[in-house]
Every structure is written in C-alpha cells, then in structure tokens.
Chain A
C-alpha cells in the first residue's frame, strides 16, 4: 500500500517539536511527526488530547506557538510565524481538509460546492471544473445528487460531497478531522468506504478518528496522543500489544464501549 509513486522520499508533512496552548491550557507538548507520501497515518486518543488541534495546525487553521511544520516542501509555520497570506493560500490548495461538521456551503448546489474552488483558484473553465467534479461525485457515489442542495442530503452524503470538494483541488495530502463523528451509526460505513478507496489509490492521509476498526484496516501507522505522542507504530502493534498504560487504558475504554 505504501509503494510511493513519487521518486522523492521527503515527507509531505513534517512536524518538528510543536507546542501549542490556548491561554493557560497547553494542548500540544513537543509533538514531532512525519508523514511520507502515500502514507496513511491515523491519530487516536481521548477527547481533549490535542488530536484535532494538531491536524488543524497542518494547514494553519490553528497557529502553534512553538516548533515548525513543513508541508509539501514549504515551511508553513515556524515558532508562531505563518507563511505570508498569498503563499499560504497557494499551499492550502495542496492540502485537502475534511471537517467533522462537513461545512458544505449551504447556498450552493452540490456540484457548485465542488467546482467553486477549482474555478476560483485553479483558473479552470466552468466546463472543465464541472466535468472533473462529476467524476469525483461519481467516485463518492453521488453523481445523481449534483443539482441537490446540501440541506437535502443525509450526513453521510454531505461528508462524501465534502471529500469530493477537497479532492477537486487535487491535493497532495488529505486531512480528516473526525469525519464520521457527527454521523448516525448507519451512515459511517459509506464515508469510511470512500476514505479506504482513497488510501488504496495512494493518497497521503492524516486522519483523526475514533473508528478503531477502520484504523486497524487502513492505517500504515497509528499514533496515540494525549497532549503529546504517547505511542506510535503499525496498527497491529498498537492494538494488540500496546506498551504504555495510558494507551492500554484508552483502548480498553474505547473497545469495550463498542
């Protein structure tokens, strides 16, 4: 699965000694992490452990006070200083993001949600962008909903459109911030299915999730976080023989619940 298509082995995301606080509360402590091309990295951990914050730092939706992040060979942030606005916007087109609450644009049709980025930012013509959008909607199984509005979709459908919207920018890496946490249980599978296909196609992915079986099946590497990275390794190791007591406790609480 990790057969890299790019010749370079430089990481797509390289996080060095990241620290971040909200006011008095320190949410990230000296976190370092590299994601190589085509790698699927899943972050798990208790709520409030800084997983989402770490993910949101990777496209500067949050700005960490200390440490550095390099994304797609460009230094995004170092010690609280973010890339200048123009370069930041350009870099963000290469980093797709999927949110827990979908954040589809409710005033635009499904098709328009997917085309608005490419048409505005990649200078694609309307026909070009729409043809590509239809391909992507086909891929996520929603070509028949192209003219619908987000309010007419189920949660699972919304999230699949959101994935298509992110893919339309042809990102080199995708960030998933608890993409199934807001979904009814019966709708989780359709979203995870799309994500699995992406992983199989070699997309580089950094995923925050509570779906342990998905992590087991799809991840190349699993990170356990609680303010810092407690433990990391292939899913077989993390799930079958976790080394740290905190990991063991967390996994016990999560796995007995389901």
Chain B
C-alpha cells in the first residue's frame, strides 16, 4: 500500500476554501433551523389548536420521513419547473435548515414538556398570560435542557452538509472531489476531508459546552 498525500497538500488552499463554504452553509442553515424549529416545536405543544398542530405535525412527518438528498433535489432540480430558480447556495442552506428544523422542533417540544407543570401553574396563578409564562418562566428553563441534544443536532447538520456538494456548491466535499478527479488519490483526500470534518464537529461540540457552562453560571441552575 502506498500512500501519497501530496495532492492533499497541493490542494490544501482549496480544501480550506471548501471548509469555509461548509461553515457558511452550516451556520446559515443552523440559524434557519433554530428559528423554524422553535416555532414548529411550540406549534406542536397543544393538540387543541388543530390547524397549527396539524401543520406542524405534517411538517415533521414529511421532513423526517424522506431523505435529505431527495429534499435537496426537490429544491434545486424540482422548483425550476415552477420557474423558481434559486441559487445553489440558497437551495443548500434552505434544504439543510428545513431538514434540521424538524429535529430541532422535537428537541424544543421535548424540553418544554419536560418542565414541571407546576411552573406554568405558579406563573399563571400570579396572573401571567400563557404567553408571558412561556417566555419568562418556561423557555429559559427549557433552553438549558435543549443544549445537549441540540449539540448532537448541530453536529449532524455539519455532517449532512456534505450532501450539498451534489448541488454544485463548492463545499469541502465538492473541493475534495475535484482534487480526486485529477489526482485519483481517493483514500488520502477523503481521509483528509474526514479529519477536517472531525475538527469542525468537535469545535461545534466544544462551543456548545461553553455556552452551556455560561448559562449555568448565569444563574440557571439544575
């Protein structure tokens, strides 16, 4: 077995550029995922609000039940049939964000429902509206419980972002494939790429643990 990493070193600047694009796609998708996931998660709290609950549940069912790759292709290759032609970067970000939001919404819903019902009762008994109780009493406590599962989701998002290379976005994976297409050094280049993903995912995990510690120090105990 002879390993030759020289294509990796030669292509390093491109790999770094690709990693930057991966970070850009992932962080934009993350922003979308968190805001959308929060709304959908809250929408699934109360089955009595039939329309909102039904829409939110349908969303989660559809998104979790179909492959991300299919969803990405629907956006990128499917929408143009309606004359909606979004740039590849937008499709990738949108697709990843929409996909991840379904999982984030379940994290949000689970965390909120794990807060003791006595908290809502106490808040309502001093006269808060349900919205005020949610914002001031429930969400801050739930937020802390969301962080560990949310870290997993963030890491999954980074890894899933490799799929956007198939929408011609020049992310880390895409750059790797270009290098391989001229050097034929698949093993070496994919090993290097795996290593770079590993660093990205661990950095993300570290950042979240830092946030968690901050929030705890900020007074949110338990």
Q: Which residues of A contact B (CB under 8 A)?
A: 59, 61, 85, 89-90, 92-93, 95-97, 99, 101, 103-109, 116-117, 120-121, 149-151, 162, 165-166, 168-169
Contact = CB atoms under 8 A, between A and B. Distances in A.
A123 B129 CA distance: 15
Contact of A105 (B119, B127, B132): B119
B124 A61 contact: yes
A120 B136 contact: yes
A120 B123 CA distance: 11
A107 B220 CA distance: 4
Contact of A117 (B118, B128, B140, B141): B128
A103 B119 contact: yes
Interface of B: 116, 118-119, 121-129, 132, 136-137, 140-141, 144, 219-222
Contacts of B132: 120
Contacts of B128: 89, 117, 120-121
Contacts of B144: 107
Given A101-B118, A103-B116, A107-B141, A121 B127 contact: yes
17 contacts: A59-B125, A89-B127, A92-B124, A92-B127, A96-B125, A99-B118, A104-B122, A105-B119, A105-B123, A105-B137, A106-B222, A107-B221, A108-B219, A117-B128, A120-B136, A149-B221, A168-B126
B140 to A, nearest CB: 5
A105 B141 CA distance: 9
Interface of B is mostly: helix
B33 to A, nearest CB: 25
A17 to B, nearest CB: 24
A121 B129 CA distance: 10
Nearest to A117: B126
Contact of A93 (B127, B141, B219, B222): B127
Given A89-B127, A117-B127, A120-B128, A149 B122 contact: no
A95 B219 contact: no
A120 B140 CA distance: 16
Contacts, number: 74
B119 A95 contact: no
A107 B219 contact: yes
Contacts of A109: 219
Contacts of B141: 105-107
Nearest to A100: B118
A116 B121 CA distance: 15
B222 to A, nearest CB: 5
A61 B219 contact: no
> Can you list the 4 inter-chain pairs with the closest CB atoms, starting with the nearest?
A93-B127, A103-B122, A103-B118, A97-B125
Contacts of B121: 61, 99, 103
B73 to A, nearest CB: 43
Contact of B222 (A92, A151, A165): A151
A219 B121 CA distance: 26
A121 B127 CA distance: 7
